[in-house]
Amino acid sequence: MLRLLRLVWLVLLAGPVLAQAPVLLRGQVLDAETHQPIPNAQVGVADNRIGTSTNDDGRFALSIPAALLDERLEVALLGYRKYTRALPPLPGPELRIELKISPAALGEVQVTGSVLGIVREAVARIPRNYPVRPTQLTGFYRESDNDPAGQPRYLAEGLVLAFKESYTKRTAEGDIQIKQSRKVDLRRDRTPIRIDWAGGPFIAHMGDFVHRRSDFIDPAHFKDYDYRLAPGSTFQDRPVYVITFGPKAGTRRAAFEGRMYIEQDSYAFLGAEWHYTAAGLNRGARDIADSRALRVAYQLYAGRWHLKTVWWQTEAKLPVGPPLKFFGEFLTTAIDTAQTPRPGYTERAQLYDVFLRNTVAYDSAFWKGHTTLLPPAAVQKILFDQKRQQQADSLFKPSAEAGTDPQQKQLSAFDRFLKRFSYGWHLGAWPLAVPAAGLAVAYAPAGYGLQMQRTAPVRAQDLTVFVQFEYQYALTKELAVRLATQRLHRQFKGDGWEAGLSYEHNFNPGHRPLYGRAGLGYLRQTVGLPLGTFDNPDSGLRVAGTHLSADELSARIQTVSDALRPSLGLGLELSHKFELVADASYLVPLRRKTQLQVDEESGFFLFRSSATVDLPSADVDLRVNDQPTTRLPWQQQPWLLSIGLRYRVR
C-alpha cells in the first residue's frame, strides 16, 4: 500500500512537469494545384512569436511550448494566400497544408509616372511605418554551400540576436549576437578545402532594404531606374501595389532588378525580391560573386513593421577550385521593442567571422526547446551515411582513434596555424639627422675601364619615412615571434629587416581590447643616396669579386647599421580581425659601416647581380664638402615612432 501511495505521489508531481514540456508539430506545405512541395514558406504560431520555415521538401518541425497550444498556426509566402488554423491536438501526425495561389488584385501591366510617386510616398512614410526606437530581433540563421552537382558542402545553423537601430537612421549595419550554433561538414571526399563565406548572420542587416535604403528606394538613384506597376496580389491578406524595377535604357548605374510590395493603405514596404545587375556585381572591388539574389519580407507587430525573413543566394566562380553556391536564411521568431541595451563588444559577432567555424557539431537534439530547422532529404541522407560510416570505422579502429580522419586532422592543424598567424603594415618616422652638404663620389676599379664620378647635393632634413610589412606567429596568447621588412622613402632609399619577440597584454578584458605592447628585435637597415646610372665599358668587370657584365650599371652610397630595437606601445582592437597599433622604439647601435653599392640595370632582371665595396677603399674617393672622408654626412638618431594596422587571419 505504501509503495502504491509513493507511485501515485510521483505521478502527481511529474504531471505538471510533463504538461509544461514542449510538443513537436510536424508538417509539409504543398502547392494546392500542383501538389509540389513549397520551400522557404514561413510557419508561425501565436502571431509569429515562434516560427520556422520549410525546407526543400516543404517540411517543417516546430517545438510548441505548452503555453501556446491554444494559439493559431499561420503559413505564408509571397504569391500565396495566407493559411491559418487552430493548432491541432499534439502530439499528432504530420500536417498536410496546401497553399493556394493569391489572385491578382490589379489589371494589366501599366507604365505611369504615378508609380514613382507611390515609391516616393512609401519612402516618406518609413518613420511612420517602421520602428523609431532600437529593437532586438531573435531569429534563426541557416547557411549552406552547394557544389556544382547541387550537393551541400556543409550546413550551419544558429540562434541569433539582431540589434536594430531606429529606421529613421539609414544604415546597413547593426549588431549580431550568436546565442547557439551547430554545424555539419557534408563533403563526401572530406577534401580539406577552406570555405570562407564571411558575415553570414549579418544578412539580417545587409538584406534589410528598408533600413539601408537600397538604391531602388533611394531618391538619389530614382533617375537610374524604370518603375512599372505590375498585376498586384495580396501579401499577408493585405492589398498591395506590386512594382517592378530595373535599369533605365542606356544606364549602367542601376545595381538591382526585381519587384517590391507596398501596402495600398499605409504605403509600407511589405517585402521585395531582387537580383544584382552586372553593374551591381561590379560595383564592389571585393565582391567576387557571379550572381546574387535576395528575397525579404516584413511583419506587423505593435503597430510597426519589422523584419521577418531574409533569403540570400550567391554564386561565385573562384580563381581556384570549383564554383560555389552560398545560401543563407534569417527568420525572425521574436521581437523585443523595449529599450534593450545593445550587446557589449565581447558578445557581438564580427562581420568577417566565418559562421561555419564554430566548435559545436551537428546534433538533431541541439535546439531542445527551440524550433528545429529541418535539413532537406539530401542532407539527411548524407548525415545518415556519415554516421553509418563512423560506426563501421569504430569496429576496426582503436577507440581512441575511432572516427578520426587524417585529412581532417591535417585541416585542423592548418586551421590552428592560421589562428596564430597575423600580419600588418606600419608607417613610421625614421630618425635620420641630415645637414645640408655636398657629396662627391668617384670609383675607378684598378685594371678596368670603368670611371664613375658623381656629385650629389644632400638636402637638410630631420627624419625620413619608412613603410614596414610584418609577419607574426603567436607562441602563447600574449607572446609572439615577429619578422618584418621595411623600406625607406623620400630623399634616401634603403631596405631593412627585423626579427624578434613581441608581447601584448589586454588592459580591458570583457570589453573592446586595449593592449599594452612591448617588443625586442634585432634590426639591420640600409640608408642610401642614389648616384644615378653609368655605362659599363668592360664586359669582364668584377667588383669585390662579383662579375658585372651588364651594359648599364647604377650606384648608390650607403650606410648599413645593425641595432637592437626595444619598443613600447598600445594596440586597440577595431574588430576581431584588425588591430590599430602605435609603437615608440629606441635603437641601440651595435655596428655601422659605409659602402658603395653597384647594381646591374640591364639584362634579364632575374639574373642581374649587385656588389658592394666597403669603405675605406683605394678604388673609391669619397668627399663631403670637398674634404676627403670615409663617413657619410647623415647620422641615425635613437628614437623611432610608428603607427600601423595588424590583421589576424583568424
**Residue 159: per-residue pLDDT:** 87
Q: Is residue 7 part of a domain?
A: no
The whole-number average pLDDT for the span 39-66 is: 80
Question: Does the residue 405 lie in any domain?
Answer: no
In whole angstroms, give the CA distance from residue 589 to residue 507: 32
Residue type, 559: T
Mean pLDDT for the stretch of residues 231-239:
72
Residues 384 and 486 grouped into a single domain? no
pLDDT value at 563 more than 70: yes
* Judgement on whether residues 203 and 309 belong to the same structural domain of the protein: yes
One domain for residues 76 and 187: no
Which region among 347-356, 373-382, 427-436 has the lowest average model confidence (pLDDT)? 373-382
Q: Check residue 372 and give its pLDDT.
A: 56
Distance CA 190, CA 188 (A): 6
Residue 514: pLDDT over 60: yes
**Whether the predicted pLDDT of 13 surpasses 50:** no
pLDDT at res. 371 = 57
For residue range 61-75, list pLDDT tens digits in order. 888 888 888 889 988
Q: What is the pLDDT of residue 106?
A: 40
Number of domains in the chain: 3
Higher pLDDT, 417 or 440: 440
pLDDT at 487 over 50: yes
Instruction: Please indicate, yes or no, whether residues 350 and 374 belong to a single structural domain of this protein.
Output: no
Check if the beta carbon of residue 522 is closer than 8 Å to that of residue 536. no
* 286 is a domain residue: yes
Average pLDDT over residues 488-506: 93
Report percent pLDDT > 90 for the chain: 43
pLDDT value at 365 more than 70: no
pLDDT beyond 50 at 642: yes
Average pLDDT of the segment spanning 142-167: 83
Cβ-contact 343, 175 below 8 angstroms: yes
195 pLDDT band, cuts 50/70/90, is low
Q: Is residue 407 part of a domain?
A: no
Question: Which of helix, strand or coil describes residue 575?
Answer: coil
Asked if residue 431 belongs to a domain, the reply is yes
The arithmetic mean of pLDDT across residues 199-217, rounded, is 94
- Residue among 156, 206, 162 nearest 373 (CA): 156
pLDDT digits (tens, 9 = 90+) for 22-31: 788 889 999 9
pLDDT greater than 50 at residue 612: yes
Of 22-26, 402-406, 479-483, minimum mean pLDDT range = 402-406
Average pLDDT of every residue of the chain: 83
What number is the average pLDDT over the span 535-547? Answer: 90
Closest to 373 measured CA to CA, from 207, 569, 155: 155
Percentage of residues in the chain with pLDDT exceeding 70? Answer: 81
Could you tell me if 71 and 92 are in contact, meaning their C-beta atoms sit under 8 angstroms apart?
no
Note whether residue 1 is domain-resident: no
For the sheet with 23-31, list strands across it: 59-64, 23-31, 95-99
- 256 contacts 276 by C-beta, under 8 angstroms: yes
- CA 270, 274, 279, 285 torsion: positive or negative? positive
Higher pLDDT, 417 or 385: 417
For residues 459 and 478, what is the distance between their CA atoms, to the nearest angstrom?
43
Choice among 238-242, 387-391, 549-553 with the minimum mean pLDDT: 387-391
Q: Is residue 412 part of a domain?
A: no
Length of the chain, in residues = 650
| Mean pLDDT confidence for 552-575 | 94
The answer on 501 and 425 residing in a single domain is yes
Same domain as 250, residue 286: yes
**C-alpha pair distances (Å), 335 with each of 22, 138, 301:** 21, 6, 8
Q: Which of 65-74, 205-214, 254-263, 276-285 has the lowest mean pLDDT?
A: 276-285
Scanning 596-650, the segments in alpha helix (DSSP H) are none
Residue 526: the pLDDT is 94
> Which pLDDT does position 306 carry in this prediction?
95
Q: What confidence score (pLDDT) does residue 119 get?
A: 94
Grid coordinates 575511432 are at which residue?
402
Is residue 45 predicted with pLDDT exceeding 80?
Answer: yes
Q: What is the mean pLDDT of residues 187-209?
A: 76
- Name, in order, each residue with C-beta under 8 angstroms of 440's C-beta and a sequence gap of 6 or more: 453, 454, 455, 456, 621, 622, 623, 624, 626
| H or E, element range at 114 | helix 114-124
| Residue 407: pLDDT over 50 | no
Single out the residue of 558, 578, 583, 562 nearest to residue 633, CA to CA: 558
Query: b/e string for 41-55 if b means 16 or more Cβ within 10 A?
Result: bbbbbbebbbbbbbb
Which residue did the predictor score with more confidence, 291 or 234? 291
Lowest pLDDT segment from 104-113, 126-135, 172-181, 555-564: 104-113
Q: Is 211 exposed, middle or buried (0-12, 13-18, 19+ CB in 10 A)?
A: buried
Which CATH number covers residue 92? Answer: 2.60.40.1120
Same domain, 292 and 346: yes
Asked if 87 and 140 sit in the same domain, the reply is no
pLDDT greater than 80 at residue 191: no
Sequential DSSP letters for 4-57 = HHHHHHHHHHHHHHHHHS-EEEEEEEEETTT--B-TT-EEEETTTTEEEE--TT
Of 401, 62, 153, 140, the closest CA to residue 393 belongs to 401
Q: What is the pLDDT of residues 581-592, one digit of tens each?
A: 999 999 999 999
- pLDDT for residue 390 is more than 90: no
Range of 138's domain? 114-361
Assess whether 427 and 377 both reside in one domain: no
End-to-end CA gap in the chain:
66
Q: 627 and 569: one domain?
A: yes
Residue 183 in domain:
yes
| pLDDT for the residue numbered 440 | 93
What is the mean pLDDT of the segment spanning 464-487? 93
The mean pLDDT of 105-127, rounded to a whole number, is 72
Q: Binning pLDDT at 50, 70 and 90, where does residue 16 land?
A: very low
Same domain, 343 and 438: no
Interacting residues of 118 by C-beta distance below 8 A, sequence separation 6+: 229, 241, 243, 262, 267
**Same domain flag for 137 and 262:** yes
DSSP secondary structure letters along 362-420: P-TTTTTTSPB-PPPHHHHHHHHHHHHHHHHHHTTS-TTTTT--HHHHHHHHHHHHHHT
